[in-house]
Amino acid sequence: MAEQIPCKSLERLGFKRYKCRKCGVTFWSKVPRETCGDAPCEKYRFMEIPAKRFGYDESRKLFLEFFERNGHKVLAPRPVVARWREDLYLTIASIVLFQPHVTSGLVPPPANPLVVAQPCIRLEDIDNVGLTMGRHLTNFIMGGHHAFNYPDKHVYWIDETAEYAFKFFTEYVGIPPEELTFKESWWEGGGNAGPAFEVCAGGLELATLVFMKYEVKDGKYVEMPIKVVDTGYGIERIAWIASKEPTAFHAVYGDLLHKFFDELGVEEPEPKILTAALVEGYSAGSVDELAAAVSRATGASVESVRDVLSKAIEVFSLLDLTKTIALMLSDGVVPSNTGEGYLARLVIRRALRKLKLLGARIDLASLVLMQVDKWSYMYPRMSRMKSYISDVLAVEERKFEEILKAIPSIAKRFARRKPSVDELVELYDSRGIPPDVLAEYLKKTFGIEIEVPRDFYSLVAKRHSRTPLAKLVEKSKLPKEVVDWASRYPPTRMMFHENQYMRSFTARVLGINRNYLILDATAFYPEGGGQLGDKGRICINGDCASVVDTQKVGSVVVHVLDRPLSANEGDFARGEIDWDRRYRLMRHHTATHLLLGALRRILGEHVWQAGAEKTESRARLDVTHYKTPTKDEIDKVEKLVNEIISQRLEVRTSIMDRNEAEEKYGFVLYQGGVPASPKIRVVEIPGWDVEACFGTHVSNVSEVGAFKIVRVEKIADGVVRFEYVAGPAVVDYARSLEDSLSTVSKALGARPSEIVVRAVAISRELKELSEKLKEYRRILKEMAIRDIVSSATRIGSVQLSKYVQSIEDMQLLREIAREATSQRSDLILIAVMPKEDGSFIEISLGREAAKVIDARSILSKLAKIINARGGGKRDHVTAVARVPPSEVIKALDSVIKELT
């Protein structure tokens, strides 16, 4: 869809509309011109355009200063991880900060108008980074000024936005007015759309000015009541045009670029080569195409250009990737196989692969820490997370090396056929196998050539950039017809939030559907936030039923009864919750907040809640962490939680405006999820933990009582689960341990106080017996092999021997078979051992014997006589038979006669 954009301010400034003779797009210019001013319609010449000279940081500051002077409030940038969004992992644009809550009208903007210099990460162009000399980057600062126009409050729209751009680029950047073009375009993203201007100069797009006026619903454009000015100024590109550097990497990284080239042992290309690569190589899709274009422009040989550019491109790419890694890890991303962790790992492994290609001796962590040192002034969190960044990259580098070692075994499945693109993606997703490494191995080992898509990593990143829809859809435990029925009722007054200690209440009946009851108010907590729904009892007109569960449909609470009650709308209902159960749940819920605070202090700020469940008997908390915690760390966490409990801190709950809460506490608020409401319920343990939380809590941490971690395990790559008990559940846990202790005590024949001493003694005895058993097994094995070899019968060019082992020891039988056929390569050994319901059969052939006969054919003949079942390879099969060894031996005699 395209819309002609009326703009009186551009007309006043002397701009007129033209049509590009190359792309056919309408654009605005102060002077007549044939092309729109954007590449590839116009070759890059922005380096030649007069402009003020300043660097990268000054570009950011100038942008903010200009809009602040023009009435915009400067917002602090948000993290590159979109913690305030459930549907998106990374901050890909400044508008992401306000979608969908502000753009939909649910929440007012934090200021109006506003401006922000927002660090962003987009991985869809990761394969082009370096090749385009900085036109494509995975990380960048988007300068966004935004205005939100409501039906009753107009701020500014197209005219003002275009005039702001003109003034900024001409007055602050110093670009001559005749060099600017405003290219009419169309933009869509995040469920919104609208016409746009692309502001260009000398072939370089410097900003996009979007006039967001539509919501995209079912493929149709529906006009929004709120009209949003959404702009994106490329801070890196502004620095590029102002610095006159040959690439954007020079403009952004300065001295760090030269340090990277030095550390990686790569020679820097001459500026004229890089300029030619930028100007002439716009459409190049590979290093070979780029080298050919530069060669034509400079007269240098293709080979020499390819040699210098191929390595330089890898250095440029590493500069970009390592900064992206620093940004992601410093914002607390833990590399994993899902979500933002998957995307971080993709970038890390892409960087590791490039280091391999360059043959670099420096490790990835050292390069990333150089980025940390350079950018900590802009992103202070980087320096705080330095130790974590170093540790996690060391872990990731070890994992990558293990993946590379696994490639030969994985490649075997493609020894006779080429893997499809889908198979390459699946191998990368499930095993982390870089497709280019697999391609190299297949070509070298099997002579199979496969073509890896040039945009492979971009495709993979795009697949994983958003939360799967299935995860976003809230699944209800209620039948669909009950959900539909409940949705028609007004919100329930939630008395459990007014008084978390309320045990009984009176309310009016709004509706009843079989055993599902809706009241106008309730003290029953509905399941949510990992806390189970309340149970208890409800009486109406003297008739009582048990509440077996409580659920929620939107803001309507549904009580699930054990049987239907006879009731009419307006009847009074008396409810009583199971207080002992609820109070246990409250203790466990508050303990969860205490534990999360302790984990972030002991393990690091990267710890983020990945899931939780609170029951009356125990609770669990899943958190992001890159390795299994040590016993010492677990002990410290447990001790710290109990120390905080003893400090008797108050647990405060309050309802706050969303913007106010975010500004005060930050996005750590959303550890347990992101509520879709203009006001949020905040649960704060002062100085310890604060979260947006729907659940019920004790009013003072001392009520949690004792706290004990009972189990810690790694449940997924990058996710660790903590199981724990609090309050009376600690007593229950201790009692269960006492019962176990008593059972062990009886089994060991020792008093409870002597268990440890007795267990140590038994362990020592078992170790001694194990050593003796090994020796007896060795002796028995030697004797058996001697008998097998000496009793073997020659059949043509092979020797055949049968062996019956009287004791049931599978390991011994297999060792005998393996070593006997290893010593005698012409030996056929048929070994039998008793098992509980019959016999176990092992047929093993030496190397030469396997050339003469197939072990599977021997088993086949044997199976016809005793119905043995099994399988294996030509030189070794195993089988079982439901007959004793004596019957197997008889059958073997018949088989041996047939063989002879």
Instruction: Between 329 and 758, name the one with better pLDDT.
Output: 329
For residue 777, name the pLDDT band (cuts at 50, 70, 90): confident
pLDDT of res. 1: 58
Residue for token pair 């952004």: 252
Whether 80 contacts 120, CB under 8 Å: yes
Per-residue pLDDT, 713: 96
Residue 390, phi then psi, degrees to nearest 5: -65, -45
Residue 861's pLDDT is: 85
Lowest mean pLDDT across 140-144, 243-247, 469-473, 579-583: 469-473
Q: Is the peptide bond before 100 cis (omega within 30 degrees of 0)?
A: yes
For residue 250, give the nearest of 240, 264, 241, 262 by alpha carbon: 240
CB hemisphere CA count around 136 (13 angstroms) = 17
- pLDDT-derived band at 865 (thresholds 50, 70, 90) equals confident
Contacting residues for 887 by C-beta, under 8 A, at least 6 apart: 839, 866, 881
Distance CA 655, CA 807 (A): 73
What does the pLDDT read at residue 446?
87
Instruction: Please state the rounded mean pLDDT for residues 460-468.
Output: 79
Mean pLDDT of 691-715: 96
For residue 736, pLDDT over 70 is answered with: yes
Interatomic CA distance for residues 549 and 392, integer angstroms: 43
What pLDDT shows up at residue 669?
94
Tell me the pLDDT of the chain averaged across its residues: 93
What gap in Å lies between CA 603 and CA 389, rounded to an integer?
13
Neighbours of 568 (CB within 10 A): 9
- Side chain identity at residue 337, one-letter code: N
User: pLDDT, tens digit, for every residue of 521-575?
Assistant: 999 999 998 899 999 999 999 999 999 999 999 999 999 999 999 999 999 999 9
DSSP-derived pairing of the beta strands 556-561 and 516-519 = antiparallel
pTM: 0.86
Confidence at residue 491, expressed as pLDDT on a 0 to 100 scale: 96
For residue 865, give the nearest of 892, 839, 836, 831 by alpha carbon: 892
Instruction: Indicate the range of 143-152, 521-530, 564-573, 888-897 predicted with least confidence.
Output: 888-897
For residue range 827-845, what is the model confidence (pLDDT) as tens digits?
999 899 998 888 999 999 9
Please determine, for residue 751, whether its predicted confidence score (pLDDT) is greater than 70. Answer: yes
Closest CA to 90 of 392, 248, 394, 325: 325
Least confident of 2-6, 132-136, 365-369: 2-6
Per-residue model confidence as pLDDT tens digits over 567-623: 999 999 999 999 999 999 999 999 999 999 999 999 999 999 999 999 999 999 999
The string of pLDDT tens digits covering residues 38-92 is 999 999 999 999 999 999 999 999 999 999 999 999 999 999 999 998 889 999 9
Share of the chain above pLDDT 90, in %: 72
Q: 132-146, 268-282, 464-478, 672-686 — which is least confidently predicted?
A: 464-478
Residue length, the chain? 900
> Cα separation of 717 and 455, whole Å?
26
Tokens of 159: 């005219």
- The CA distance from 77 to 599, in Å, is 26
Question: Residue 430 has what pLDDT?
Answer: 86
Q: Is the pLDDT of residue 900 over 60?
A: no
Q: Read off the pLDDT band of 469 (50, 70, 90).
A: low
Q: What is the mean pLDDT of residues 182-210?
A: 94
What's the sign of the alpha-carbon dihedral 743, 748, 749, 751?
negative
pLDDT of residue 643: 97
**Tokens standing for residue 161:** 């936005």
If one compares 198 and 425, the residue with the highest pLDDT of the two is 198
Give the mean model confidence (pLDDT) for residues 192-205.
96
